[in-house]
Amino acid sequence: MRQRKGSGRPTIADVAREADVGAITVSRAIRNPGQVSAELRERIEAAIRRLNYVPDPQAQVLASGRSNVIGVILPSLTNIVFGDVLQGIYDRIEGSGFHIQIGNTRYSVDEEDRLVALFAGQRAAAMLLTGIDQSAATCNRLAEAGVPVVQIMEYTPRPIDMLVGVSHADAGHAAVDYLLSRGYRRIGFLGARMDPRMLRRRDGYRAALRKAGLYDPALEISTPAPSGVARGRALCSQLLAAAPDVDAAFCANDDIALGVMFECTARAIPIPERMGIVGFNDLDMTASAVPAITGIRVDRYQMGVRAIGMLLARLADDAVAEPCVDLGFELIPRQTTR
């Protein structure tokens, strides 16, 4: 090993001397590994390991004007729905030279604005946001930052920059259409927390029943409280009290659908003959339940993969062939519907 001058932390120049390459080559290998040959990359990585070199993020920002961080802003880190999205994000980012920094808004518009300002101040290379309901302040901050942005989870033909998502209103409409096709007529809606995606699923529910001439506001039960299986049981109980003749429920997520199934089982209400149930997200727990729950499936893993792919393409100055992607959804019939 060559003797490094000085006694401070190793620098890019030290790594370059150790690997017998130029400092620019080392910098390129760290930021964009794909731009360096496999042989050179292996030599540089070996030198980094020998010297215990850790890149200085501030130096990278000063050198390039941007960090190698992509800010990912999600509304929840405990909601299992976002686990698949994150898996796709991390699988796609691997080997790119970029890193993920996560911000959690906890469903707060103000917190989203604060996080966007924080990432912009840290010179994030790009940002990934959840949903399509950003505030005017957030949109202005993103415009000022001038970095690639992708929105996920929802669909609009007019994104801030790029988007990969799904129409929740169309999915809600499809769920009700399916229940109607199976002979159900008194179809309830059950929802919790009622974030924008929940509200759009409800909008689709309303549109489908109004089209069929069967909409009844008494069959709609929701709460701003957080979702959960116990909440689903409570909402089902309220629905049965308000409309004893209800014969199906479109549940705005799978937690609620599972709660409805438990409540019906406790009351000896036959499923699917007396009560049909459709959930949303198609999680393992509802697909594996007994009876297995009919649900709307969205490919959340692919959503994360494609969103990061778009950002990486833009960061490499490559054209994004399809900057606005509707991933669509699939209705999976199971044992909770006739």
Q: Over 70: is that where the pLDDT of 298 sits? A: yes
Predicted confidence at residue 24, as pLDDT, reads: 78
pLDDT tier for residue 12 given thresholds of 50, 70 and 90: confident
pLDDT tier for residue 21 given thresholds of 50, 70 and 90: confident
When mean pLDDT is compared across 2-6, 120-124, 136-140, 148-152, the lowest value belongs to 2-6
Q: Over 80: is that where the pLDDT of 137 sits? A: yes
Q: Over 50: is that where the pLDDT of 3 sits? A: no
Q: Which residues fall within 8 angstroms of residue 146, CB to CB, at 6 or more apart?
A: none
3-state secondary structure at position 131: coil
Predicted confidence at residue 190, as pLDDT, reads: 98
pLDDT tier for residue 56 given thresholds of 50, 70 and 90: low
Q: Which ranges in the chain are annotated with CATH 3.40.50.2300?
A: 65-166+300-328, 168-297
Predicted confidence at residue 60, as pLDDT, reads: 54
Each residue of 58-117: pLDDT tens digit?
A: 555 544 457 899 999 999 999 999 999 999 999 999 999 999 999 999 999 999 999 999
pLDDT tier for residue 272 given thresholds of 50, 70 and 90: very high
Q: Over 80: is that where the pLDDT of 326 sits? A: yes
More confident residue, 21 or 249: 249
Provide the CATH number for the domain formed by 168-297 in this structure.
Answer: 3.40.50.2300
When mean pLDDT is compared across 24-38, 92-106, 248-262, 265-279, the lowest value belongs to 24-38
Percent of the chain with pLDDT over 90: 81
Question: In degrees to the nearest 10, what's the CA dihedral of 70, 75, 80, 81?
Answer: -80
Cβ–Cβ < 8 Å for 75, 195 = yes
Bridge partners for 189 per DSSP = 220, 250
Q: Is 66 exposed, middle or buried (0-12, 13-18, 19+ CB in 10 A)?
A: middle
Does 65-166+300-328 carry CATH code 3.30.1330.30?
A: no
Percent of the chain with pLDDT over 70: 94
Quote the strand ranges of the chain, DSSP E: 69-74, 99-104, 126-130, 149-152, 162-165, 187-192, 220-223, 248-251, 276-280, 294-297, 324-326, 330-332
Average predicted confidence (pLDDT) for the chain: 93
Q: Over 90: is that where the pLDDT of 308 sits? A: yes
Predicted confidence at residue 36, as pLDDT, reads: 81
How far apart are alpha carbons 320 and 276 in whole angstroms? Answer: 43
Backbone angles phi, psi at 217, to 5 degrees: -60, -20
